[in-house]
C-alpha cells in the first residue's frame, strides 16, 4: 500500500470509528432523566368526582435542570391517563443564557381548587398566579392574578407602591390598581378590555409568556 492510499485508508478508518462515538455522545447528551419529583397535587380536574394528579419532575442529567409538568386524568376504569406533558411551562433552574447561574426563582406551586388548576410563580419584583380550567379536552387559561412592586433597593418600605393586576380572560376585563404599602387607598386604577380568543391552552403555554400578561 503506497503512502497516499495508506493515508486515505487511515482517514476512512478514523471516520468509521468516530461516527458511532459521536452518535453515542449526542445520544447521551440528548437523553433526559426527569427522575426527581418536586411537586405533586391531587384533586378533581375533569369534573368526574375522581382524583386526578399533577406532578412536576426535574431532569437531573441536563445541567440547566429543566422541569416537566404532567397532568394525569382519571378514567372510568379508575386508572390515571397522561393528558398533558410540558417541558416549556416552567423555567429551568439554571437557564442556558445564565451560563450556570441560578434563575433566582423557586419552583412554582400548584393547587387544585373547585376544579381549577392554579400555578403560583415568582416573577421579578413579585408573583403571578395562573388559573387553568379543563374544558372540552383542554386546560384553558381563564384568569390571572399578579402582584408586583417598584422597590429598587432590594426591600420594601412605606414608599413602596404595589401594583395588583387581575385579568379575567373569559370577560376580557384587565384591571390594574396601585397602592402604597400599609394603605388601603387606591392611588391609581386602570381598566381595559383585552379579548384573547381562543383562550390560551396549557400545552401551548411557555414560562416566557409571563411578559405578555
Quote the percentage of the chain above a pLDDT of 70: 85
pTM of the model: 0.81
Report the pLDDT value the prediction gives residue 24, as an integer from 0 to 100: 38
133-169: pLDDT as tens digits: 999 899 999 999 999 999 887 788 888 999 999 999 9
Is residue 68 within 8 A of residue 85, CB to CB? The reply is: yes
| Strands laid side by side in the 126-135 sheet | 109-113, 116-123, 126-135, 138-149, 161-168, 173-180, 186-193
Which carries the bigger pLDDT value, residue 125 or residue 12? 125
Extents of the domains making up the chain = 32-212
Amino acid at each position: 500500500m503506497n503512502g497516499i492510499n495508506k493515508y486515505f485508508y487511515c482517514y476512512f478508518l478514523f471516520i468509521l470509528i468516530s461516527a458511532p462515538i459521536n452518535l453515542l455522545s449526542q445520544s447521551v447528551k440528548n437523553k433526559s432523566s426527569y427522575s426527581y419529583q418536586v411537586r405533586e397535587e391531587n384533586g378533581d380536574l375533569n369534573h368526574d368526582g375522581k382524583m386526578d394528579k399533577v406532578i412536576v419532575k426535574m431532569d437531573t442529567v441536563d445541567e440547566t435542570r429543566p422541569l416537566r409538568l404532567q397532568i394525569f386524568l382519571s378514567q372510568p376504569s379508575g386508572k390515571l391517563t397522561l393528558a398533558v406533558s410540558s417541558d416549556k411551562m416552567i423555567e429551568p433552574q439554571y437557564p442556558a443564557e445564565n451560563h450556570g447561574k441560578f434563575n433566582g426563582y423557586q419552583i412554582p406551586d400548584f393547587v387544585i381548587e373547585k376544579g381549577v388548576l392554579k400555578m403560583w410563580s415568582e416573577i421579578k419584583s413579585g408573583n403571578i398566579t395562573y388559573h387553568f380550567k379543563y374544558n372540552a379536552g383542554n386546560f384553558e387559561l381563564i384568569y390571572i392574578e399578579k402582584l408586583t412592586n417598584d422597590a429598587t433597593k432590594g426591600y420594601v418600605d412605606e414608599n413602596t407602591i404595589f401594583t395588583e393586576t387581575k385579568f379575567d380572560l373569559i370577560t376580557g376585563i384587565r384591571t390594574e390598581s396601585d397602592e402604597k404599602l400599609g394603605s388601603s387607598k387606591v392611588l391609581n386604577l386602570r381598566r381595559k378590555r383585552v379579548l384573547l380568543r381562543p383562550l390560551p391552552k396549557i400545552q401551548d403555554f411557555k414560562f416566557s409568556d409571563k411578559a405578555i400578561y
